[in-house]
Amino acid sequence: MPKVLISDNLSDKAAEIFRSRGIEVDVKTGLSPEDLAKIIGAYDGLAVRSATKLKGTVLEAATALKVVGRAGIGVDNIDVAGATARGIVVMNTPYGNAITTAEHAIAMMFALARQIPQADASTQAGKWEKSKFMGVELTGKTLGLVGCGNIGSIVADRARGLRMKVLAFDPYLSEQRATDLGVRKVEIDELLAEAEFITLHTPLTDQTRGILDANGLNKTRPGVRIINCARGGLVDEQALRAALDSGHVAGAAFDVFVDEPAKENPLFGHPNVVCTPHLGAATTEAQEKVALQVAEQMSDYLMTGAVTNAVNMASVTAEEAPVLKPYMRLAELMGSFCGQLTQNPISAVALELEGHAADLNADPIKAAALAGVMRPQVDSVNMVSAPSIAQQRGIDVSVTRHDREPDYQTLLRLTVATTKGTRSLVGTLIGGRTPRLVEIQGIGVESDFAPHMLYVRNYDKPGFIGALGSMLGQYGVNIATFHLGRRDVGGEAIALVEIDQALSAEQLEAVRALEHVVRCDTLGF
């Protein structure tokens, strides 16, 4: 039975979902990194919000972990690269709190425009400083969105409802999507020059860190107001403070900070700054939604292999999983076949899909093939870590779909290129479930994948099969199945021989020494 740890405060219904799906669950919140590291090795899954940090010694101790689920969108508290290298799926819930976070950005924009927090504090202190708090209208103002994904697009919709003009900078935003949203897609410099309000809605990456630094702030129009409810670090806080002090920036509203919990910050204390303690997702509805969503996603993965909203691997829906599993198994076996025969550096892996396979989600099939190819050379690789490792090693990976009619209802073709040449396999599924090889190096050879096999390349000469059988008989090694294919009479041939036990190194060398043998390797699946 899979076992999951909930280490941050989630709705009680999350634990109920895990248990209803047949998963054992423990709820232990507020653990120190040292205490978490002591127990994490016993769990297959970890459900967190933002407090738990899956990094460093905690990640190293998570030896059994298969999936970590973040109830929320940001995964800054998770070492995604480290988790990927260890084959751990990292999931988030990007849609569960999108509306709540967008509403908070709009609320912060209103608070900034009308100085509501400052006016509230003044009024409750017994003052009546009506003339001090002169605000600005939002109607007719130009709003610049840095990032127009799930949350940014909701902010755009709400802003247009306020009769604001909306500009958007987002490299991934298509012109058609911008038209549908009613926004104008621009480059960052144009946005900075024109926007009277700027809101940020982008993840924190190497590309977006400091996207509003001193140079960027200098490009903004005088009197701009800046709202950040996305991630601390997108804006250079020291540079923003200087721009506020000079009056170039009229005001700022921040829900996120470089260092959190933010006990002190360069922005604190400025009269034109509004701050909240990372409340973007802090509504009853959002917290309930993301907790239930992360529990469902993790349960689906642990129980069926379905992958939803993973940040480090391809998604597989619950409906797809049963269909894809046999293909993923076939691809992994074919990859393993090639990997066991490969001693030279791999330069490229090409996957081709024909027949029924051509209509499937190819990404998980590709990941499974890569895992099989690299497993003989890389410890603990799986379909989560394989694509990342392939990229790190400079392996060119491609997928091609063919609409031609194959000889079988469904086919996978895998070609692995090395510095010494290429190796190509073709496989199918018998009865839709049983993996079967049907071609090796262009030679038709039908074979199952067995625990102990000999892969023999030889010349098609009389007496070879008898000599091989006699030698194995002398060693007391029984032949279970024998599959033979040849390119032409007397030419190159391939034999796949299933045997009941493994050969010793000496016995393998003796087989290699047989007349007409070009190559002989042992394989195991």
Q: pLDDT tens digits for 110-149?
A: 999 999 999 999 999 999 999 899 999 999 999 999 999 8
Of 440, 464, 490, the domain-final residue: 440
Nearest in space to 213 (alpha carbons), one of 236, 234, 246: 236
Token pair belonging to 429: 């599924």
Judgement on whether residues 109 and 257 belong to the same structural domain of the protein? yes
Question: What CATH number is attached to the domain comprising 460?
Answer: 3.30.70.260
Contacts 24+ apart (CB under 8 A), 210-217: 210/234, 210/235, 210/236, 211/146, 211/235, 212/146, 212/236, 212/239, 212/240, 213/239, 214/239, 214/242, 214/243, 216/188, 216/192, 217/243, 217/248, 217/249
Distances in Å between the Cα of 267 and the Cα atoms of 104, 133, 168, 232 are 19, 20, 26, 12
- Structure confidence at residue 270 (pLDDT): 97
β-strand pairing of 197-200 with 142-146: parallel
88 confidence band (pLDDT: 50, 70, 90): very high
Task: Report the C-alpha gap between 101 and 83 in whole angstroms.
Answer: 27
Whether the pLDDT of residue 360 is over 80: the answer is yes
Residue tagged active-site, from 21, 70, 278, 375: 278
Percent of the chain with pLDDT over 90: 81
- Please say if the pLDDT value at position 474 is more than 90: yes
Question: Burial level of 299, CB count in 10 A (0-12/13-18/19+)?
Answer: buried
Residues 89 and 106 in one domain: no
Do 112 and 258 reside in the same domain of the chain?
yes
Q: Is 260 a known active-site residue?
A: yes
Residue from 16, 187, 260, 319 carrying the catalytic annotation: 260
The tally of domains found in the chain comes to 4
Question: Is there a single domain that holds both residue 467 and residue 321?
Answer: no
Distance CA 43, CA 302 (A): 11
Helical H runs in 341-408? 362-374, 386-392
Indicate which residue of 231, 375, 413, 423 is catalytic. 231
Residue 379 sits in a domain whose CATH number is: 3.30.1330.90
Return d(Cα 95, Cα 101) in angstroms, integer: 10
- What average pLDDT score do residues 217-224 get? 97
Q: What is the structure's pLDDT at 461? A: 92
Question: Tokens 């967190």 appear where?
Answer: 48
Q: Are residues 148 and 217 in the same domain?
A: yes
What integer pLDDT is reported at residue 406 of this predicted model? 81
Whether 280 is in a domain gets the answer no
Mean pLDDT of 365-383: 87
The SS3 assignment for 21 reads coil
Residue 149 belongs to what domain range?
A: 98-275
Same domain, 381 and 463: no
Helix axes of 116-124 and 98-114: crossing angle, nearest 10 degrees:
60
- CA 185 remoteness from chain centre: 27
Say yes or no to pLDDT of 25 above 90: yes
Band (385; pLDDT cuts 50, 70, 90): confident
Contacts of 261 (CB under 8 A, 6+ apart): 277
Residue 346 in this model has a pLDDT that exceeds 90: yes
Does position 466 have pLDDT exceeding 90, yes or no?
yes
Give dist(CA 78, CA 62) in Å, integer: 13
The Cβ of residue 169 has, within 10 Å, a number of other Cβ atoms equal to: 23
Taking the CA atoms of residue 142, residue 145, residue 146 and residue 152 in that order, the dihedral angle to the nearest 10 degrees is 170
Domain assignment present for residue 105? The answer is yes
Between CA 251 and CA 262 the distance in angstroms is 19
**Cα torsion through 417, 418, 421, 422, rounded to 10:** -30
Let me know if residue 296 belongs to a domain.
yes
One domain, residues 154 and 271 = yes
For the chain, the average pLDDT equals 94
Annotation marks residue 16 as catalytic: no
Residues 353 and 474 in one domain: no
Answer yes or no: is 445 within a domain. no
User: Do residues 214 and 242 touch, judged by C-beta distance below 8 A?
Assistant: yes
Query: Could you give the angle at which helices 150-161 and 98-114 cross, rounded to 10 degrees?
Result: 50
Q: What is the largest CA-CA distance in the chain?
A: 108
213 and 169 fall within a common domain? yes
Residue range 156-182, pLDDT digits in tens:
999 999 999 999 999 888 899 999 999
Pairing of strands 89-91, 67-70: parallel
Look up residue 418 and give its two tokens.
């090395």
For 491, the 3-state DSSP assignment is: coil
The reported pLDDT for the residue numbered 313 is 85
What's residue 319's pLDDT? Answer: 82
- Looking at residues 493-513, what average pLDDT do you find? 94
Q: What is the mean pLDDT of residues 254-258?
A: 97
**Residue 320 exposed, middle or buried by CB count within 10 Å (0-12, 13-18, 19+):** middle
Active site residue 231: yes
Query: 106 and 85, same structural domain?
Result: no
173 three-state secondary structure: coil
> What whole-number distance in Å separates Cα of residue 192 and Cα of residue 218?
9
C-alpha atoms less than 13 angstroms from C-alpha of 432 in its C-beta half-sphere: 4
413 & 457 share domain: no
Residue 210 pLDDT > 80, yes or no? yes
* Strands 410-418 and 396-401, bridge-based pairing: unpaired
pLDDT at residue 222, as a whole number: 97
pLDDT exceeds cutoff 90 at 244? yes
What amino acid is encoded at 331 in this protein?
A
Length of the chain: 525
Give SS3 for 511. Answer: helix
Give the position of tokens 């079967």: 436
Q: Could you give the CA distance from residue 196 to residue 138 in angstroms, rounded to a whole number?
A: 9
Residue 14 to residues 11, 204, 304: CA-CA distances in angstroms?
Answer: 6, 28, 18
Domain with residue 138: its CATH number is 3.40.50.720
Q: Are residues 270 and 374 in the same domain?
A: no
pLDDT band, very low/low/confident/very high, at 393 (cuts 50, 70, 90): confident
| Element at 170 (helix H, strand E) | none
Beta strands in 232-389 (DSSP E): 249-254, 273-275, 346-355
Burial 484-505 (b: 16+ CB within 10 A, else e): bbbeeeeebbbbbbbbeeebee
Confidence of residue 95 (pLDDT cuts 50, 70, 90): confident
